[in-house]
Copies of this chain bind each other. A is one copy, B any other.
Amino acid sequence: MNGAQALIRTLVDAGVDVCFSNPGTSEMHFVAALDDVPEMRGVLTLFEGVATGAADGYARMAGQPAATLLHLGPGLGNGLANLHNARRGRAPLVNVVGDHARSHKRLDAPLESDIDAIAGTVSGWVRRSLSPADVAGDAAEAVAAAKKAGVATLILPADVSWEDGAEPAVPLNVRPRPHAAPSLIEGIAEVLTGEETVLFLGGDVMASPEGQLAAARVAAGTGVRLVTETFTARTARGAGLPELTRLPYPPEMAIAALKGTRHLVLAGATAPVHFFGYPGLPGHPVPDDCTVHVLSVPGENGVAALEALAELAAPGAEPQVMERETPELPTGPLNPRTMAAVVGALLPENAIVVDEALTSGAGLTEMTSAGPRHDWLSLTGGAIGDGLPMALGAAVACPDRPVLGIQADGSAMYTISALWSYAREQANITTIICDNGSYAILEHELTRVGAASDGERARKLLDLTGPALDFVSIAQGMGVPASRASTAEELAEQVRSALAEPGPHVVVATLR
A residues with CB within 8 A of B: 2, 5, 21, 23-26, 28-29, 31-36, 38, 42, 44, 46-47, 49, 73-75, 77-78, 80-81, 84-85, 88, 100-101, 103-104, 107-111, 113-114, 117-118, 120-122, 158-159, 162, 231, 270, 273-279, 283-284, 380-383, 385, 410, 413-414, 416-417, 420, 423-424, 441-442, 445-446, 448-458, 460-462, 464, 466-479
A-B contact pairs, 19 of them (CB 8 A): A2-B452, A21-B461, A28-B442, A29-B451, A31-B462, A32-B455, A33-B452, A33-B453, A49-B78, A77-B383, A101-B277, A107-B274, A111-B276, A114-B121, A117-B121, A159-B279, A162-B451, A468-B479, A472-B477
Give the one of A278, A382, A423, A448 with max B CB within 10 A: A382
Contacts of A279 in B (CB 8 A): 159, 162
Q: Are B110 and A381 in contact (CB under 8 A)?
A: yes
Question: Which one of B73, B108, B276, B454 lies within 8 Å of A121 (CB-CB)?
Answer: B73
Extra 18 A-B pairs, beta carbons < 8 Å, given A467-B479, A473-B473: A28-B442, A29-B449, A42-B460, A44-B461, A46-B410, A49-B78, A73-B121, A80-B118, A101-B278, A114-B121, A158-B276, A158-B277, A158-B449, A162-B452, A423-B467, A424-B467, A470-B479, A473-B476
Name the CB-closest residue of B to A104. B277
Cβ contact within 8 Å between A461 and B23: yes
* Interface contact A32-B451, CB-CB below 8 Å: yes
Say how far A423's CB is from chain B's closest CB, in angstroms. Answer: 5
A356 to chain B, nearest CB (A): 14
With both chains docked as a complex, state the minimum distance between the C-beta of A34 and any C-beta of chain B, in angstroms. Answer: 5
By a CB distance below 8 angstroms, the chain B residues around A100 are 276-277
Q: Pick the contact of A28 from B2, B107, B449 — CB < 8 Å?
A: B449
